[in-house]
Amino acid sequence: MAAALLSSLLIFSFLSLGAPLSSNYYQKTCPNAESIIRKAVTDATKNDKTAPAGLLRMHFHDCFVRGCDGSVLLKSKGKNTAEKDGPPNVSLHAFYVIDNAKKALESACPGVVSCADILALAARDAVVLSGGPSWDVPKGRKDGRTSKASESTQLPAPTFNIAQLQQSFSQRGLSLEDLAALSGAHTLGFVHCASFNNRIHNFNSTTGIDPSLQPSFAANLRRVCPANNNAKNAGVPMDPSSTTFDNTYYKLILQQKVVFSSDNALLSSPKTRSLVSKFASSKDAFSKAFVKSMIKMSSINGGQEIRKDCRVVN
């Protein structure tokens, strides 16, 4: 009896952690929340064309570690090294945009809007400002109190093959369709040499360069990133239109001109390969699938509180 009661309490508290998100969550408590966040993203992007890519990637990192709970925003403190200072952190940036939005929100409606929601909305605004689709973002996320560098290794690596990618996504309730659509975020941004050096130097004991790279594309990557001689900031844009959210990424996959093994891996399962072809021939089909999968990814549950400062727990 007591055990049954206890277990039903446990189930109840588990379910309440996962309180459903809703579109009108801040309608009464902070009606201008969305326009305040949009202004922070728009203002930043005027001076910093790299901000949208930074925000979109940051939201992905947030959701893949402990759910979308703003854990990626927390800074290291004392002996604890935070997620953002963990190994896959190269190029995580644009944190200041979230700070600016939070500052404005705290003066309009103090203690109401979570940092996790700010990041989810900023990622949507980043896509829209880059010429991509818009969508209604469900809100009501809570911020978490834990962020550990060791957990950032739970993120998928650019060296992953299709089986590893599928496993990483399915552990978060995301399908191969979600993988194919969300990878299209790699239409935006910049990549450092360290993220693809494995494909252009000492690929394996028989071949120096990954044979699945188109040869002139590989030659250019080697020009930018010579062996043992990478300037810290050296790298290449994700695609030639790397500030425009479009379906070029999928056309480049078909030409084997994408930087990561994980991008190229979308060709190695029939399901993802057929989606790559579909998205390459229709920006509209890509946009629809991307929106659906973003809403799914950004609904992965997380935290407990509404942080006052996005970089530190209350």
- If the CB atoms of residues 38 and 93 are measured against ligand HEM, the closer one turns out to be 93
DSSP codes, 59-111: HHHHHHTTSSSSGGGPPPBTTBPPGGGSGGGTT---HHHHHHHHHHHHHHSTT
Minimum distance from CB of 269 to ligand NAG (Å)? 16
CA 259 – CA 252 distance, rounded (Å) = 10
- If the CB atoms of residues 53 and 310 are measured against ligand HEM, the closer one turns out to be 53
Q: How many CB atoms lie within 10 A of CB 295?
A: 16
Q: Which residue in 39, 41, 67, 36 sits closest to 54, CA to CA? A: 41
CA 107 – CA 81 distance, rounded (Å) = 30
10 Å CB burial of residue 55 (0-12, 13-18, 19+) is: buried
Number of residues that bind ligand HEM (CB under 6 A): 26
- Give residues 29-68 in contact with ligand HEM (rule: CB under 6 A): 50, 53-54, 56-57, 60
Q: For the packed helices 115-129 and 51-64, what is the interaxial angle rounded to 10 degrees? A: 140
- Give residues 104-133 in contact with ligand HEM (rule: CB under 6 A): none
205 binds ligand NAG (CB under 6 A): yes
Minimum distance from CB of 264 to ligand NAG (Å)? 11
- If the CB atoms of residues 95 and 250 are measured against ligand NAG, the closer one turns out to be 95
Minimum distance from CB of 256 to ligand NAG (Å)? 12
Q: Is 201 among the residues known to form the active site?
A: no
Q: Which of 59, 61, 186, 192 is catalytic?
A: 61
Q: Which of 71, 130, 183, 272 binds ligand HEM (CB under 6 A)?
A: 183
156 binds ligand HEM (CB under 6 A): yes
> Choosing among ligand NAG, ligand HEM, none, which partner's interface includes residue 192 (Cβ < 5 to 8 Å by kind)?
ligand HEM
> Choosing among ligand HEM, ligand NAG, none, which partner's interface includes residue 205 (Cβ < 5 to 8 Å by kind)?
ligand NAG
Number of residues that bind ligand NAG (CB under 6 A): 10
- Looking only at the bridges linking them, the beta strands covering 190-192 and 235-237 are antiparallel
- If the CB atoms of residues 105 and 218 are measured against ligand HEM, the closer one turns out to be 218
Q: What phi, psi does 80 have (nearest 5°)?
A: -90, 120
DSSP 8-state secondary structure symbol assigned to residue 190: E
Q: How many CB atoms lie within 10 A of CB 273?
A: 16
- If the CB atoms of residues 92 and 108 are measured against ligand NAG, the closer one turns out to be 92
> Choosing among ligand NAG, ligand HEM, none, which partner's interface includes residue 156 (Cβ < 5 to 8 Å by kind)?
ligand HEM
How many helices (DSSP H) and strands (DSSP E) are in the chain?
13, 2
Per residue in 2-35, is it b (16+ CB within 10 Å) or e — as a string?
eeeeeeeeeeeeeeeeeeebeeebbeeebeebbe
Q: Which stretch binds ligand HEM (CB under 6 A): 138-146, 150-158, 208-216, 250-258?
A: 150-158
CA 144 – CA 303 distance, rounded (Å) = 4
Catalytic residues, by residue number, are 61
Residues of this chain that bind ligand HEM (CB under 6 A): 50, 53-54, 56-57, 60, 90-91, 93, 156-158, 160, 165, 182-183, 185-186, 188-192, 195, 260, 262
Residues of this chain that bind ligand NAG (CB under 6 A): 84-87, 89, 204-207, 211
